[in-house]
Structures are given as structure tokens and as C-alpha cells.
Structure 1
Amino acid sequence: MITGHFGLAAAVKSVERPVPLWALMLATVWLDVLFTPLLLTGVERLDPVPGTTGGYGNKIIHADYTHSLLGALVIASLTGLLAARWWGRRSGTVIGAVVFSHWLLDLLVHRTDMPLLPGDLGGFPRLGLGLWRYPLLTAIIEAAIMLAGTALYWRAATRTGGSVRRVAVVTGLMAVVGAVTLALDVAGV
């Protein structure tokens, strides 16, 4: 869902002009950024879905800290507070909300592997609607989110008097990043 996350960041930028685009792009994947060292140290892990050979969404993700509901809320809140120190309260709130949006979008695609509490405390049922079971549909939805976000960004940036060349370059880069991340997702990389 990386492409979908980036599309959402572009859409948010279209209405929240003071927040830097790079900060929104980083915020939207922040849970995955924090997941990476935990994955590399074995604290969180990826397991293949039994009976699959790889590819798009064919991993069960045990991100029991970064992608638990409470963990995501805490990370989003702390990130928002930190961002507020640099860019003000409103921008900090936006950054925090974008960090948490990651969890909401992941809820759509993940299998039931997202715990409510960090470390799966309490053993509550895990969440996930499992859209990854339908790779083509998931890819179409991700591409649509990216296209919509890019279009909203383009429209807002050109209406506010931004340099057409700069807007075109940034929009082009977003399209390339979206295409590359979607291709990597579909390939199962």
C-alpha cells in the first residue's frame, strides 16, 4: 500500500499548503520506516502466507508494535507533537493524522495480522480486511489513490500561483515514485 500512502500525502498537501510535501510523504510511511529496524533485529517479522509463492500481499506482517492500533496512535501523536515544534500546532496535527492514516489504509489491505495493543498484549483478535487477497483490485485501488492525490496536488499547486515548471517536476516525480512503488509491491519486493 506504499503507493496509496503517497497518494494520500499528495492529496493532503493539496489542502494543507503550509506543510512541506516531503514531511507528508515521510509521515505517511513513518510506521514502515520504524518497522524496518525492528524487522532487521527480529522484533517484528514477515512470514509467507502458507501455500503462496510470493508476490503482492503474500506476507503475514507481524508488526506487533509499529502497526498495532495503540502503537500507531502513540507514534502518530509523538510525531505530531514533534512536527508542531517546527511548523506549528495545525501542521503538527496534520502530520500526526497522516502518520495515523497509514494504519487506516493498512487496515484495508492487511490480512488479520494487525493487533490492537503493542506486542499483541491481551491476545485480542487481530484486524485486517484482507484486500491483498485480490492483488489486481488492490493495485487498481492504490493506483487510483495515487492518481487522485497527484491530480489534487497539481490542481491546488497551479491555482496558488506556483511555478508551472516546478509543479510539473514535482507531479512527475510523484507519478514516477507511485509507478515504481506499485510495481515493486506487485512484484513482491
Structure 2
Amino acid sequence: MFVGHYAAALAAKSAEPRGPLWTYVLGCQLIDVAWGGLIAAGVERVTVDPSLPGSALVLEHMPYTHSLPASIAWSVGAALLARLVLRLPWRVAVVIALTVFSHWLADLLVHRPDLELWFGGEKVGLGLWNYPVPEQAVEIGLLGLAAAAWTWRRAKLGQGLWPALIFVGLLLALQLYAMLQPANPDPVGLGTTAIAVYLLFTALAWIVDRPGSKPRPA
């Protein structure tokens, strides 16, 4: 899943607009940012099987990012950083944590069984990746619903719609590009590319959100 994760970020921004958009955008992919780093470092493992339907990724070993305990830990850590470092209100910090954890829930829907319920334990995944057309429809549908809620919220706050539409359009364009390109079989290249893309969209989210007002203190 790619753009489907960003649906959680846009929904979070709509529900709690005091949080900077970039924190939600980074939060929804924080687990994959860490995964990219650990893949590039050889700590977690992935291979590519082009014969697979949908995603060609075979996610062999990723307990430190995509196991259920690790996902909870990343979520709690993000909340603490948001509150203690960024000085955001506790409600915003909790919404950021939920956005981070949404990544695991979304992956549960699409991944083949590769998500550990505990370290070294049973692996789960509902495998929607095996049905590429419905999987893409779910991803784009979720993004569309969240984008509609976000643009509605921006309109209520008197903020422009074009930055939001451009941001969502770029997400969809990258999704289509990724669908047409074969997966990079080099783990280092795959990991570093993933990090670069996620940080790029974090920067774009910061740009889109700049005209907004600053969060009010708790």
C-alpha cells in the first residue's frame, strides 16, 4: 500500500487541524521510513518476485518495524516526540500516534502474511495485494474520501484548495508511476528510494500547510 497510507494523514488533518500536516504525512509512513533504513542496512530483509500479482515484494524479515509490538512502540514514540520536542497539544500527539499505527492496520489489509503479531511469532496479512485491481481501488478510494474531508476542512478554515488538490494529484501520479515500474531488486536502492520519496512528500506537506495558522497550545 502506498497512497492508502496517506488517507490516514489527510483524515487526521481534517479531524485535528492544529497538527502540522507534515507531522501526519511523516507519521503515516514513519514505519516505512524506518523500514527503508533497516533494509538498506541489511537488518531487515526483502526480496523481489516479479511473478507475484500486485506487489512484487517478498517481505521476509521486518520485526523491528512491521511487527505489532514494534508498530505500537513507533506510535508511542511519535506521540512523545510530538509532545515533548515539538510541543504540540496532547490531543494532536495522540492523533499523530494513531496515524502512525494506522500504517500497520492498512498493511494488515493488503500484505500477504508477513506481519508478526509478536516478535518471532505468527505472521498475518489478508493478502489484498493478490488482487491488484480491487487493491488499487481500495487505496485510491480511501485517499479520495480523506482528500474530500481535508479540502472541506480547508474551505471552512478559509484556506486555498489548489495546494491540497496539487498535493493529492502528485500522490496519485506517483501511485500510477509505481504501478508501471518494476520493483527495484536491490535492497539498498529500494530502501533509500523509499526514504527519499517519503521525505519528499513530508517536505511538500510542510509547503502546502505553511499558510495555515499555528496550532493553539493545549
Q: What's the TM-score once normalised by structure 2's chain length?
A: 0.77
Structure 2: which 5+ runs fail to align? 184-218
* Bigger Cα displacement from structure 2, 26-35 vs 58-67: 58-67
CA apart distance, 1:113: 0.5
Is 1:150 the counterpart of 2:150? The answer is no
Is 1:115 the counterpart of 2:113? The answer is no
Amino acid at match of 2:149: L
Measure the CA separation in 2 of the matches of 1:34 and 1:71: 11
Measure the CA separation in 1 of the matches of 2:67 and 2:92: 24
Secondary structure at 1:117 match in 2: coil
Per-residue CA deviation, residues 118-166 of structure 1 (Å, 9 max, x unaligned), is 3x2xxx320100000001111111010111111111111101222x2xx
Structure 1: which 5+ runs fail to align? none
Partners of 1:113 and 1:128 within 8 A in 2: yes
Measure the CA separation in 2 of the matches of 1:154 and 1:109: 27
Secondary structure at 1:47 match in 2: strand
2:58 is matched with: 60
CA apart distance, 1:84: 1.4
Measure the CA separation in 2 of the matches of 1:186 and 1:70: 34
State which of 146, 169, 174 in structure 1 corresponds to 2:168.
Answer: 174
Q: How many residues align?
A: 180
2:27 is matched with: 27
Measure the CA separation in 2 of the matches of 1:182 and 1:111: 21
Partners of 1:139 and 1:186 within 8 A in 2: no
Identical pairs, percent: 32
The aligned runs of 1:12-91 (5 Å cut-off) are 12-49=12-49, 52-53=50-51, 56-61=54-59, 62-85=61-84, 86=86, 87-91=88-92
CA apart distance, 1:112: 0.4
Measure the CA separation in 1 of the matches of 2:163 and 2:169: 10
State which of 157, 161, 166 in structure 2 corresponds to 1:160.
Answer: 157
Runs of 4+ in 1 over 2 A off after TM superposition: 52-56, 185-189
Coordinate RMSD, CA, aligned: 1.7
